[in-house]
Structure 1
């Protein structure tokens, strides 16, 4: 009987270790993993803010301005003009480099869900899309990559659409 109890305890510990390993592998970016980078394109640069709620105090990161970004994500594409008006307002704020109404706008998006293409840490920034009637930030966001690609999530990172911006 003691042998069976030991075997069951060992099996339970093994299941816990494997389960913990699976959870950790899906919630952490792998710094040793392959870094995929987009080809550089012609154009100037634009700024993406990194989290300021007041005008004139926005910290900015230089991001290449890409007139037309190819959808290499495999995600469904949506025209920017088809997005809700609040999302189009957020796109305009990103293009201007702020100021942003929420302190978390411009914060690093870590892509823990791994629904966007894998990139090095700090590659993506997130921006709030105001939701009428919500007292907090709501669930809608735009995530912008360093090379200019942008994604819209209406459901707090459960799904994404690649945004096609017109020239």
Structure 2
């Protein structure tokens, strides 16, 4: 791998994001993952593998996602900066796999795994109400992120 300025910048962003995620998301006394803004898991206490009744998608713990995906979530929470110009652009939900909302409700963010210039297949999709979804197969399937 060539260590050019873009590669180093991307690695620094991912590293800072991971540290930020570790500080932002803490394990509560009962062992669940919470954050200052969420106060813990949703009231119904879904578990990884359960199906979200709204989206009909399986839940996945944020901590079970690749560290790069956790870093992307941290960047979303802090409002960037994002490594790719297309990050934050409208996700159209043309596949119809997520709950239907008006155009512009969802935004997509790249999960960087390497610095080759290829965005790859992994994305985090965020809804306007704060819900987050993960895909590792370029929108063929999604999981609802539990945090």
Contact 1:80 1:163 survives alignment (8 Å): yes
Residue 101 (str. 1) matches residue 65 (str. 2): no
Per-residue deviation at 1:132?
2.9
Q: Residue in 2 aligned with 1:92?
A: 74
Q: State the distance in 1 between where 2:55 and 2:91 align.
A: 16
Work out which of the two has the higher radius of gyration on C-alpha atoms and give 1 or 2.
1
What's the CA shift string for 1:50-102, capped at 9, x where partnerless?
Answer: xxxxxxxxxxxxxxx97255732110110000000000000000000001010
What's the CA shift string for 1:16-42, capped at 9, x where partnerless?
Answer: xxxxxxxxxxxxxxxxxxxxxxxxxxx
In structure 1, runs of 5+ residues without a counterpart are 1-64
SS in 1 for 2:107: strand
Q: Residue in 2 aligned with 1:150?
A: 132
SS in 2 for 1:81: helix
Report the TM-score when normalising by structure 2: 0.64
C-alpha spacing 1:158/1:99, structure 2 compared with 1 (3 Å): same
SS in 1 for 2:84: coil
Q: State the distance in 2 between where 1:102 and 1:123 align.
A: 20
Contact 1:108 1:123 survives alignment (8 Å): yes
Query: CA RMSD for the aligned pairs?
Result: 1.8
Residue 122 (str. 1) matches residue 122 (str. 2): no
In structure 2, runs of 5+ residues without a counterpart are 1-35, 45-51
Q: State the distance in 2 between where 1:110 and 1:66 align.
A: 27
Residue 112 (str. 1) matches residue 63 (str. 2): no
Residue 80 (str. 1) matches residue 57 (str. 2): no
